[in-house]
Structure 1
Amino acid sequence: MKILVATEKPFAAAAVEGIKKVAQEEGHEIVLLEKYQEKQQLLDAVADVDAMIVRSDKVDKEVLDAAKNLKIVVRAGAGYDSIDTAYAKEKGVVVENTPGQNSNAVAELVFGLLVFTVRNFFNGKSGSELKGKKLGILAFGNVGRNVARIAKGFDMDIYAYDEYCPKDVIEQSGVHAVDSRDDLFKTCDVVSLHIPATPETKSSINYDVVNLMKKGGILLNTARKEVIDEEGLLKLMAEREDLKYITDIKPDADEAFKKFEGRYFSTPKKMGAQTAEANINAGIAAAKQIGAFFKDGCTKFQVNK
């Protein structure tokens, strides 16, 4: 089988070698398309492949129509909103993700950003400490659980809410389970977002929700840009000079947010999975899942059933 690794933001070299090794052991051919600049390059590359491994690359209707032989797409990472999963299902194409492979990398980034924030972006002025602060984790999946694990080392008071995770599971992890998202925002000094972008969550972090935060609150988003109601958050930050918004996903309204100097920070590009370890883990997991699919028909991580 022919497997295309299509990555506008390439994997680490070690990850590519690992992917090749796994594929070759299964008798598959690997084709690389890295740092492509035009969509047509992707459309040409998918024409005769049986499988694809992507990162944040868009796999829309046009790409799926161009891929006549495609049977499976694996997103090397957790979020898969860049793939048209419904249309893939219509076409009989399996879509999978690799949950958990980037989790530690994202969780460590959360605390890199948090320390940077509470120390006033290292501007030389006196800041504050994370010890004793109340941290709220919105969604207690793989990333959320790693965030909780690291937060314990900072001696933070940890709270979480997840609509789909039982409260007793959260409590068993040594974390306070709250009854609702609103309770989380009311209770915590810092709220870290780890929700996917779905029809239910898009623009759900809005003016009213964030306004529930206590004075000096920090909202941290390493999840998805789409979950933020940017217009509402801009309005709130103009009204409340105590709030801070920190993210590794540059907002559409980045220039407007920049006027809140000392209260807003965004990395130039999404950084959550940008570690060599996460690259390697997710890439090799994707290759193994494709191998299992062609060998045994395994679709354990399918997200478009």
Structure 2
Amino acid sequence: MTSARLGCVVLDDYQSAAKGAADWSQLEHAVDVEFEKRFIGEPEALIERLQNADIVVANRERTRFDAATLAALPKLKLLVTTGMGNAAIDMLAAKSRNIVVSGTGSDGAPTAELTWALILAMARSIVPEANGIRAGAWQSSLGFALSGRTLGLVGLGRVGSAVAKVGTAFGMRVAAWSPRLDDERAAAAGVERASSLEALFQSGDVISLHATLTPESRGLVDAKLLGLMKPSAYLVNTSRAGLIDEAALIAVLKRDGIAGVALDVFATEPTQADNPLFAFERVLATPHLGYVTDVTYAAFFSQALEDILAFLAGTPIRVLN
């Protein structure tokens, strides 16, 4: 597109993994690529860091690009997001400034795998037992057997369906609910369709959230639904933090209304050690690891590289705006 060399910044490369996940040498002829490991949360600092960037690769929704930020980056021509959707990017503002936004493919399997890691960790008290044995303790908890119990899924898309298969393999009764789920699609996934969201929360021994965050689903899991859960039941969220009313969750934890909750997503990320949810021993927290695997990163950044090469050739691909 131009004979001048371009600058590219790959943001939020927390594990310093992006450089090894793709053959960036393919850009040596035209683009200088820098990898930023830090999370830059302050808009002013982000704008300063990206002043000379013609291309930015944003890793999922870790960094927000609102209209004001985009307006302050006059050199920006291409914004690549890993995944084919990014709620942290103002797509209309980018389009109005002639900034191309391209995406990459993604795979739901890693998030389904983490969901089961969290369910099993809670059910068998893996973290306190592992820490306990190092401190000289031996068998301090009673496990929560999964076979014969009910797994309730809120959302039965790619990730929810994968989680359902494992639940069935464990001998669980699997039920699901979503606004548009019908009996035929539920049967195809090998699950029961719950008659209502309330019925799902009443019957579930483990409730796992796999819904898309929309204005309609924000705060979906509220005080009413949490109040319907069994005191012995567990809640898991590897989808989006906004699906749960956080104040209502804190209230139910305070009164021992549920056995535990596992969270991989938070309202503000990276979250801080003073997050009020961390005051409860029954909260198992992980730092948004759902998609963070070697295979996913290889797909993300190899396709981000493809997006950049296509843009340089004047034929952008996977355009989202």
Identical amino acids, percent of aligned pairs: 27
Instruction: Read off the aligned partner of 2:115 and give its amino acid letter.
Output: V
Partner-residue secondary structure (3-state), 2:159:
helix
Compared CA separation, residues 11 and 63, structure 1 to 2 (3 A): farther
- Aligned equivalents of 1:282 and 1:292: distance in 2? 15
Instruction: Read off the aligned partner of 1:176 and give its amino acid letter.
Output: E
- Aligned equivalents of 2:267 and 2:167: distance in 1? 26
Instruction: Read off the aligned partner of 1:219 and give its amino acid letter.
Output: L
Asked if the contact 2:231/2:257 (under 8 Å) is kept, the reply is no
Gapped regions of structure 2 (runs ≥ 5): 130-138
User: In structure 1, what is the equivalent of residue 115 of structure 2?
Assistant: 110
| Number of corresponding residues | 298
* Pairs within 5 Å for 1:272-283: 272-283=290-301
- Aligned equivalents of 2:310 and 2:176: distance in 1? 35
Compared CA separation, residues 132 and 283, structure 1 to 2 (3 A): farther
Compared CA separation, residues 53 and 238, structure 1 to 2 (3 A): same
Instruction: Read off the aligned partner of 1:191 and give its amino acid letter.
Output: I
Cα shift readout 1:214-251 (whole Å, capped 9, x = no counterpart):
34111101112222211112222333444421112356
1:207 Cα deviation (Å)?
Answer: 0.6
Residue 156 in 1 paired to residue 161 in 2?
Answer: no
User: In structure 1, what is the equivalent of residue 27 of structure 2?
Assistant: 24
Q: TM-score, normalised by structure 2?
A: 0.78
Structure 2 residue aligned with 1:75, among 81, 102, 115?
Answer: 81
* Pairs within 5 Å for 1:168-179: 168-179=184-195
1:109 Cα deviation (Å)?
Answer: 0.9
Compared CA separation, residues 94 and 246, structure 1 to 2 (3 A): same
Compared CA separation, residues 66 and 242, structure 1 to 2 (3 A): closer
Instruction: Read off the aligned partner of 1:53 and give its amino acid letter.
Output: V
- Aligned equivalents of 2:26 and 2:212: distance in 1? 30
- Aligned equivalents of 2:178 and 2:32: distance in 1? 39
Larger Rg computed on CA atoms: 2
Residue 234 in 1 paired to residue 255 in 2?
Answer: no
User: In structure 1, what is the equivalent of residue 211 of structure 2?
Assistant: 195
1:165 Cα deviation (Å)?
Answer: 5.3
Deviates more, 1:157-166 or 1:52-61: 157-166
Gapped regions of structure 1 (runs ≥ 5): none
1:187 Cα deviation (Å)?
Answer: 3.0
Asked if the contact 2:238/2:265 (under 8 Å) is kept, the reply is yes
1:293 Cα deviation (Å)?
Answer: 5.2
Cα shift readout 1:23-46 (whole Å, capped 9, x = no counterpart):
539x65252231236555542453
User: In structure 2, what is the equivalent of residue 57 of structure 1?
Assistant: 63
User: In structure 1, what is the equivalent of residue 136 of structure 2?
Assistant: none
Deviates more, 1:127-136 or 1:92-101: 92-101
- Aligned equivalents of 1:135 and 1:3: distance in 2? 48
Compared CA separation, residues 215 and 285, structure 1 to 2 (3 A): same
Q: TM-score, normalised by structure 1?
A: 0.82
1:172 Cα deviation (Å)?
Answer: 0.9
Asked if the contact 1:216/1:243 (under 8 Å) is kept, the reply is yes
Partner-residue secondary structure (3-state), 1:199:
coil
Instruction: Read off the aligned partner of 1:90 and give its amino acid letter.
Output: S
Asked if the contact 2:198/2:225 (under 8 Å) is kept, the reply is yes
Asked if the contact 1:11/1:283 (under 8 Å) is kept, the reply is no
Instruction: Read off the aligned partner of 1:32 and give its amino acid letter.
Output: E
- Aligned equivalents of 1:11 and 1:165: distance in 2? 38
